[in-house]
Amino acid sequence: MSKEAILETEDLTKEFAGFVAVSGVNLRVERGTIHALIGPNGAGKTTCFNLLTKFLSPSKGRIKYKGNDITHLAPADVARLGLVRSFQISAVFPHLTLLENVRIALQRVRGGSFDFWRSKGVLDNLNERAMQLLTDVGLESFSNWTAVELPYGRKRVLEIATTLALDPEMLLLDEPTAGMGHEDIDRIAALIKRVSADRTVLMVEHNLSVVSDLSDKITVLTRGRILAEGDYETVSKNPEVREAYMGTGHA
């Protein structure tokens, strides 16, 4: 009945010196869906992300990606399997140009990155593909700018373009619309919708209108535990979720 799971966790737990940030989370992300992870501040969403991409090691539990156990892999290896993340604060290479930002991702796929004796001219044949990726997200006219000069919203767009350069099977987006104005939010939401066509997306997101527009499935976390799961309709009617988000008074 349900689709095949691309990413699964079993009893995922992370403790920091006695504080349990993520506790016994069983997450199941289905292939080809947009799955949102929501919850109040401190619910453990970002920790969960860091665990899934191995930037943190779990205290307990297992992570399976495409049926393989990835619990003990290094973060770079997880990325190489096609599970690529973004960060809550914009993750660009600030003093490289936009073209170079995207190209550094293409270069990883190309290989030969330890060749210190070769001229970087050998990378020029990646420029065309890099420009194409920038054009896809509407940044082509800025390709010579250094990333630090971009306004915030466009940095996030650049970040997604860089991620897409790896052609990942699954994207993990940590608050892709945080700190953005309406116009930028709409652009990012449309972009996520578009790139999810042949990919799986797991995102942490606070903006509930974005969540309701995009997500196929929502998991609500509070205090490190899963509180509710389902589509927007189901989750938004759940009294416990309403309480966690708005407090009892408004319920």
Partner 1 sequence: MAAAAPSITAPVQGGRSKSELIAFAIMVAFFVIAPNFIYPIFLMKALCFALFACAFNLLIGYVGLLSFGHALYFGWASYVSAYAAKSWGLPPELAILAGAATAGGLGIIAGALAIRRQGIYFAMITLALAQMMYFFAVQAPFTGGEDGIQAVPRGKLFGLINLADQTNMYFFVLSVFLLGFLLIYRIINSPFGEVLKAIRENEARAISLGYKTERYKLVAFVLSATLAGLAGATKAIVFQLASLTDVHWTMSGEVVLMTLLGGLGTIFGPVLGAFSIIAMQNYFAGFGQWVTVIQGVIFVFCVLLFRRGIIGEIANALKIRL
- Smallest separation, CB 224 to partner 1 (Å): 23
127 binds partner 1 (CB under 8 A): yes
- 72 close to 95: Cβ distance less than 8 angstroms: no
Residue among 60, 95, 193, 194 that touches partner 1 (CB under 8 A): 95
What torsion do the CA atoms of 44, 48, 50, 56 make, to the nearest 10 degrees?
90
- Smallest separation, CB 234 to partner 1 (Å): 32
Instruction: For residues 144 and 140, give the distance between their C-alpha atoms in angstroms, rounded to a whole number.
Output: 9
Question: Using CB under 8 A, which of the segments 116-124, 186-194, 199-207, 223-231 binds partner 1?
Answer: 116-124
Residue among 42, 72, 94, 179 that touches partner 1 (CB under 8 A): 94
> Which of 49, 232 has the CB closer to partner 1?
49
131 binds partner 1 (CB under 8 A): no
Residue among 1, 19, 41, 114 that touches partner 1 (CB under 8 A): 114
189 binds partner 1 (CB under 8 A): no
Instruction: For residues 186 and 173, give the distance between their C-alpha atoms in angstroms, rounded to a whole number.
Output: 16
128 binds partner 1 (CB under 8 A): no
- Smallest separation, CB 244 to partner 1 (Å): 30
Instruction: For residues 3 and 66, give the distance between their C-alpha atoms in angstroms, rounded to a whole number.
Output: 13
| Ranges assigned E (strand) in the chain | 5-16, 19-25, 28-30, 34-38, 60-65, 68-69, 83-85, 170-174, 200-204, 217-222, 225-230
Instruction: For residues 111 and 108, give the distance between their C-alpha atoms in angstroms, rounded to a whole number.
Output: 5
251 binds partner 1 (CB under 8 A): no
Instruction: For residues 117 and 123, give the distance between their C-alpha atoms in angstroms, rounded to a whole number.
Output: 13
Interface residues for partner 1 in 65-84 (CB under 8 A)?
74-77, 79-80, 84
- 7 close to 27: Cβ distance less than 8 angstroms: yes
* Residues within the interface to partner 1 (CB under 8 A): 53, 55, 74-77, 79-80, 84-87, 91-97, 99-100, 103-105, 107-108, 112-124, 127, 141-142, 144-146, 149, 151, 162-163, 166
